[in-house]
A and B are shown apart, each in its own frame.
Chain A
Amino acid sequence: MTGAQIVLECLKKEGVSVVFGYPGATIAPFYDALVCDGTIKHVLVRQEQNAGHAASGYSRASGEVGVCCTTSGPGATNLITALATAYMDSIPMVALTGQVRSDLLGRDVFQEADITGACEPFTKHSYLATDTQELPTIIKEAFHIAATGRPGPVLIDLPQDTLEREFKGEFVYPDSVDIIGYKPRTAGHSLQIKRAIEAISKAECPVICAGGGVVSAKSRRELLKFAEKLDIPVVSTLMGVGMMPTEHPLYMGMLGTHGIYSANYAIHHADLVILCGARVGDRAMSKPDQIAKKATIIHIDIDPAEIGKNMKADIPIVGDIRNVLKNLIEKTDELKHEAWVNDLRKRKADHTPVFTSIKGQVDPRNFMRTLSEIVSRHSKAILVADVGENQIWSANNFAFRGGRFLTSGGLGTMGYSLGAAMGAKIAKPARQVIAVCGDGSFQMMMCELATLKQHDVAVKVVIMENNRLGMVRELQDKLYGGRYSGVMLDGSPDFVKLVQAYGIPAEAVGDDDEVEGAIERMLKSSEPYVLVCKVAADIPSRQED
């Protein structure tokens, strides 16, 4: 067997059923192995970045490690943004890149790029596989590292000769890994857990802040049980949206600069904050010291480096969130925080705005509310939001009732949604997968319409067309005296016609009254479908101020 065939066999052993990629000369041996074998499906994207986002979406929706592959040089560098996006959001992924022959490394030959070097800050780990014999060990380790501890992307750079060389001896896939310096801790320290229980029992105004770690640890159920048993209100970061049902009486919304009043009020008036897999990013908590001054902080995270990084923690618990929450649920008695919860609920209700429709325009916030109403009648949808105002409208107005919310939270990568939605739909074909994007972000990724068409991936796309880079324009209104610089999207195409040119059905809506019917038609479609919302200009992203 050649190295390329070995790579393929290893992927099969890992249970990989689909690879998102784009070929080229150096990775060609692997592509040949793919087609000769035929068991792993290959999805040809139209730009490598989207192969990365698709692997990320696949991973997030399926809970398995997503895989993408590209050629060397420009193929690999095109992938960097996707790796950085996945790294910031702790998404388990394995990326395979072709590389020039190992005897030519370092000589700047055609399509050589030091991709392991370039991706050092954006990968959990990387390999430059110069020895064909080591491929089984490397691939086994890569999948293990990607999926365990704090998950993240792992890169395997594959020189062409490594792929072409014959593998000596019999192929045996290792059944375990042994990396001396890598033994992630999963059970929380019992003393800290004891201290946490004591702090919880004393608190009058506790709050749980759920971050992306709750998703990574697949601990949605435990979070709900923990909150309900102890009657503790929950707020979430952007990455944690969807983990608590939006309408749950204990859920106070997303916090942060683009969050809602009740969530921010809760975290700033709590006497105990339980951070669950939340890394206290600046968009979620811009003044962590103010919060920490008032409250005791329990910080639960699988990554010890997150504890104390942005906020001091009184009670650090390093461990798998699901594990720790289970432990806490077992060891605590039921509590009641009626006054505190009722106060927050009243604040949430009082600050839930009603957006009055304007004739001839679509209010994107009403649109998201209607969308969630209709969707939840059909299925537990996966909503993928891009970046910009559209992302915030989605996060704050779509009511999650068991579905999922995927977005690029950490890096804020425009052009994330279509690739990610494609990956999610391939992972969960029976679910509705809806990508919501802006007209700016759509134009960064619209080449992927062809991929949806080619591979029959029935993603539903909503474009919030406001003819501007709305989020940046808002910023220019606020901080630069309304001097708009480089934010108008004049020159954009007629999106409906453009989409139809791909043979994909599309329609546009321009009034709140038309929205319901349009959404029904979109959801009914068994093909990919694009709905263009002619959004009222200057609808703010922030719900407060």
Chain B
Amino acid sequence: MRRIILSPFLWIGIIILAAIATWPMATNNPTLREELFLILMFITMALSLNIILGYTGYVNFGHIVFFGLGGYLGIYVMSTLHWGLFPAMIVGGIGASVFAFLLGAAILRLRGAYFALATIGINETMLALAGNFQPFGGATGLTLNFRIYKLYGGAGKALWLAFALLAAVTIIAFIASFIIEKSKFGLGLMVIREDEDAAMVMGIPTPLFKNLAYTASAFLPGIIGVLYFFKNGNIEPGEAFNLEMSIEVLVMIMLGGFGTVSGPIIGAALYEEIRSSLIVNPLLQSMHLVIAGLLLLAIILFVPIGVVGWIRQRVPAVRRYLE
């Protein structure tokens, strides 16, 4: 525990994230807030996915399922049962985790590519199910009544609130990732990633560990799903269970380097920056997907350990600051 609390990396990280969060508030800049909302959201998605992907070595293409399910549960209790935002966030997070725990008990028996395929199947099943599930509004989804924002001082204030809450969640994601990485549990996950059969013989209860990792990875996406769709005002299946977005989060982790805490953060921020700068440039706009694809291919072929992995390898001195 001492090692965690005294780590310079932890404190520098918290300070940077907190600074990023207060920056649009201090300058009262809604455009910047919207940009940073996406970046913080992707950082949390990438950090949480990294628990099952980076530490445990299970390739999950369906991470967005937890975001979508949490969003649906949260918007449902807000719009139909008239609950407030905070209980809705709890419902979203716990709902996503319970779902992950039950699902994990079934699909975490699969290994390698079979697991990856199953997660694609789960994503598409949820997408198709949501479109047919009438309590969730079927294909049209659910819309929040505008009145709900009044509870939080009007729509303008509600957006700031959503941002502040997201920033808090992101900092929690960061601290939790760091604690997991430095814990016995995290070491167990990494052993599973390296060699699951050896892990079992070494005394690691692999089914339990894998499922705990999967369940933990689902919790924060469930919460930010509620925040995102609260800010949006409505939720519909295509946006909640968007397979492309799952894969984008994977790409972010690859870009930064998986199995570290700073990798997903730097990867998510870089990816969002690159994408938004490509989209605003009229010349590059139509080619932004091509450029992103070429970039991804180049990273995979030439720097497969990601930006952070590469820096850590080149400059060992910075390792304490780049865990």
Q: Do A and B bind each other?
A: no
